[in-house]
Amino acid sequence: MRTLKGPAIFLAQFAGDDAPFNTLDAIGGWAASLGFKGVQIPSWDGRLFDLARAAESRAYCDDVRATLAKHGVEVTELSTHLQGQLVAAHPVYDTAFDGFAPESVRGRPQARQEWAVQQLHHAAKAARNLGLDAHATFSGALCWPFVYPWPQRPAGLVETGFAELAKRWRPILDAFDAQGVDVCYEIHPGEDLHDGATFERFLEAVGAHPRCNILYDPSHFVLQALDHTAFIDIYHPRIRMFHVKDAELRPNGRVGVYGGYLPWAERAGRFRSLGDGQVDFRTVFSKLAQYDFRGWAVLEWECCLKHPEDGAREGAKFIADHIIRVTEKAFDDFAASGTDEAANRRMLGIG
């Protein structure tokens, strides 16, 4: 067993045009002041990071690490959530997702997808140049509009969708493999990989690719009424990243899992700051320690009620308090009898 690394913080929800959130140096100092030891960087945010440059220049990556190191902070992972979404986007979402891409490819889905794929190839190289071994992303979605089986899905629709998804991702997984970096898909509603069954389907479609892994975020399982601690028991060999995010699901006589098109604050299922929701973090941290999780505990703040800076400050302490410093000896070592193989055989009556 090993002790989880952390606390760390995903910067996507905090980056902005005002100091201290507008440069990597400033936001790194802010994170350190709250007690964070690592930052997960959104690769699409040019105020903080230049992905194409990082893919080509080890010197630039060394500068990124040095900028953070002076605050006692390190890069935990890079994220391509927005670009990953565009690797596979159903046409019904073209307008909504165009904003994830540069203006030069907006309104041109094929060009937009090609740009997204190139971004993932950049990310593989950038991760290696930064000395990282795991990367965060979304799978995108071709089948999501058909998640509820009405109208009845025609035979083979889902199989065709996942075959195409695998076809698009397999070369990207190979590129990450060449760099020695795991691709960690955040299991998330809105993605074709949104629960254990869909991850298994995709894993089979990519031939159990060794770089196809999981970013575990229990909040998305709470909102689906999925057992978020049992998920760890089943999929821990593939869990390589961990977003520490809370959520609650409080269905009533008016609204349930689907949310009734209500705003976040009025939904039965909503994200909350750490400790304000229903995620069983004591069990989550215990299971990850038990299964020798080797990564970081990274705060992802999303709450429709609490101010983000309060959520970050409270979150750093919450994570630090939940990380288990694993033991290096058995609790019953004091009672060890010091027997040997011959004694064991005598005890078993096999002489």
pLDDT digits (tens, 9 = 90+) for 291-350: 999 999 999 999 999 999 999 999 999 999 999 999 887 776 766 777 788 888 888 999
User: What is the mean pLDDT of the segment spanning 120-126?
Assistant: 98
What is the reported pLDDT for 219?
98
User: What is the mean pLDDT of the segment spanning 223-244?
Assistant: 98
Q: Which residue has the tokens 């390589």?
A: 240
* pLDDT over 80 (residue 351): no
CATH number where 163 lies:
3.20.20.150
The residues near 224 (Cβ < 8 Å, ≥ 6 apart) are 189, 194, 195, 257
- Give the mean pLDDT of the chain: 96
Distance of alpha carbon 225 from alpha carbon 169, whole angstroms: 28
Q: Give the DSSP H or E segment for 197.
A: helix 196-205
Phi-psi region of 273 (alpha: psi -120 to 50; beta: other; left: phi over 0): beta
Q: What percent of the chain has pLDDT over 90?
A: 93
The per-residue pLDDT for range 142-154, each reduced to its tens digit, is 999 999 999 999 9
User: What is the mean pLDDT of the segment spanning 19-28?
Assistant: 98
What is the reported pLDDT for 335?
65
User: What is the mean pLDDT of the segment spanning 159-174?
Assistant: 98
**Alpha helices (H) in 48-156, listed in sequence order:** 51-56, 58-69, 81-87, 94-98, 109-129
User: What is the mean pLDDT of the segment spanning 94-120?
Assistant: 97
What is the reported pLDDT for 343?
86
Distance of alpha carbon 49 from alpha carbon 57, whole angstroms: 13
Per 3-state DSSP, the chain is made up of helix, strand and coil in percentages (nearest 5) of 45, 15, 40
Output the CA torsion 266→270→276→278 (10° steps): 120
What is the reported pLDDT for 330?
73
Q: Which domain holds residue 52?
A: 5-347
The number of folded domains in the chain is: 1
User: Counting every residue, how long is the chain?
Assistant: 351
Predicted confidence band at 71 (pLDDT cuts at 50, 70, 90)?
Answer: very high
Cβ(236)–Cβ(291) below 8 Å: yes
Distance of alpha carbon 239 from alpha carbon 183, whole angstroms: 10
